[in-house]
Amino acid sequence: MCATRSPVPSITIAQPDDWHVHLRDGAMLSAVVPYTARQFARAIVMPNLLPPITTAEQALAYRQRILSAVPAGVAFTPLMTIYLTDRTTAADIARARDAGVVAVKLYPAGATTNSDAGVTALHRVAPALEAMQRLGVPLLVHGEVTDPAVDIFDRESVFLDTVLDPLRKDFPALRVVMEHVTTREAVQYVQSVAQGLAATITAHHLLFHRNALLAGGLRPHYYCLPILKRAEHRDALLAAATGGDRRFFLGTDSAPHPIHRKECAQGCAGCFTAPVAIELYVTAFEAAGALDRLEAFASHHGADFYGLPRNLGALTLHRVAWEPPKRIDTADEGLHPLIPEGGLGWRVANG
């Protein structure tokens, strides 16, 4: 006879970190920071503002604006990045490192939201990459080619062969994080490299495949870059995230856009998941029968990669069915968090 195990009523993990988040600026920043700060002890904040954060000075000023938006009594550490442009110099890298900037972000020009100032050809940034390699500053990559002739569903896998692999051969000691991986090919590539390469995985790429975006009606809140792929890729990501492999860790890529810029004829790319981020990850891990693997993925592997201490605090989630609000009103415009149909079965204890 087969005994049915009753589901656990709650789960407690070391407080997680978000190794890839967009917090924006101004009114939007004030609206979204509390959600990330409530769940995560630290977060790596992406620099793709308009104009982008390209210098140590700008990163420090942005850090102050983020800290001003953290609710009183909440401990949250933003970890800052700068945006690599064709004009970034080795001296810019050294100054950033000295100011506590933890990583540098590569957006191929035109690849995603606010990437127009991105790198047009990698040879132009060779001195900056050489300085990063020498100083141990990781490069975070949005791993998609921008060639309009390449199908949008193939842009990540083509990037591996034509950009990432040559880049790693030119800079073998450069530490690289392939951000928001979405394909089986990217998982296999990361697994093929013993050291110095890691990847973040979003909750939405673990939970959804491209039917969520396209089948039975176009759902713009599921539109992000890299775009959701076939179910078999989602399965490969889930296996990587739940497999205990230290090269994979949590990065929500929570990317808020005002509702009217998502629900329109040419909508922005980005899923806003911060209000329910850890709940989404728990849902994905539970579906894979791997709740016991969540803590390593969410709270250990990223800190270990960045050489930072693991968090001492804890976060508890309770099993409870609830429907999070579908709209969050902000000072100027509303936001629509990405919530699975039917709501959620987990909730952060203080949520």
> Which residues does the annotation mark as catalytic?
253
3-state DSSP call for residue 81? strand
* Residue 186: CB minimum distance to Zn ion, A: 13
Binding mask 211-240 for ligand NCD (x = CB under 6 A): -------------xx---------------
* Residue 111: CB minimum distance to Zn ion, A: 7
- Was 350 annotated as part of a binding site? no
Residue nearer to Zn ion on the CB measure, 39 or 317: 39
- Was 20 annotated as part of a binding site? yes
> Strands (DSSP E) along 84-148, which ranges?
103-106, 139-141
C-alpha–C-alpha distance, residues 12 and 295, integer Å: 9
# chain residues binding Zn ion, by CB under 5 A: 3
48 touching ligand NCD, by CB under 6 A: yes
Contact with Zn ion (CB under 5 A): which of 18, 253, 279, 295?
A: 253
Handedness of CA 30, 225, 222, 284 (dihedral sign): negative
- Was 105 annotated as part of a binding site? yes
* Residue 94: CB minimum distance to Zn ion, A: 25
- Was 221 annotated as part of a binding site? no
C-alpha–C-alpha distance, residues 243 and 135, integer Å: 31
Q: Are strands 77-83 and 344-348 parallel, antiparallel or unpaired?
A: unpaired
- Was 318 annotated as part of a binding site? no
18 touching ligand NCD, by CB under 6 A: no
204 touching ligand NCD, by CB under 6 A: no
* Spatial contact of 255 and 236, defined as CB atoms under 8 Å apart: no
- Return all residues near 129 (Cβ < 8 A) that are at least 6 apart: 122, 139, 167, 170, 171, 174
255 touching ligand NCD, by CB under 6 A: yes
112 touching Zn ion, by CB under 5 A: yes
Q: Which stretch binds ligand NCD (CB under 6 A): 7-15, 112-120, 190-198, 306-314?
A: 112-120
Q: Are strands 139-141 and 176-178 parallel, antiparallel or unpaired?
A: parallel
- Return all residues near 68 (Cβ < 8 A) that are at least 6 apart: none
Residue nearer to ligand NCD on the CB measure, 274 or 315: 274
C-alpha–C-alpha distance, residues 301 and 310, integer Å: 9
252 touching ligand NCD, by CB under 6 A: no
- Nearest to 179, CA basis, from 243, 93, 252: 252
142 touching Zn ion, by CB under 5 A: yes
Binding-site ranges for Zn ion (CB under 5 A)? 112, 142, 253
Feature table: binding site for substrate: 22-24, 48, 142, 225, 257, 269
Binding-site ranges for ligand NCD (CB under 6 A)? 22, 48, 112-114, 142, 224-225, 253, 255, 269-270
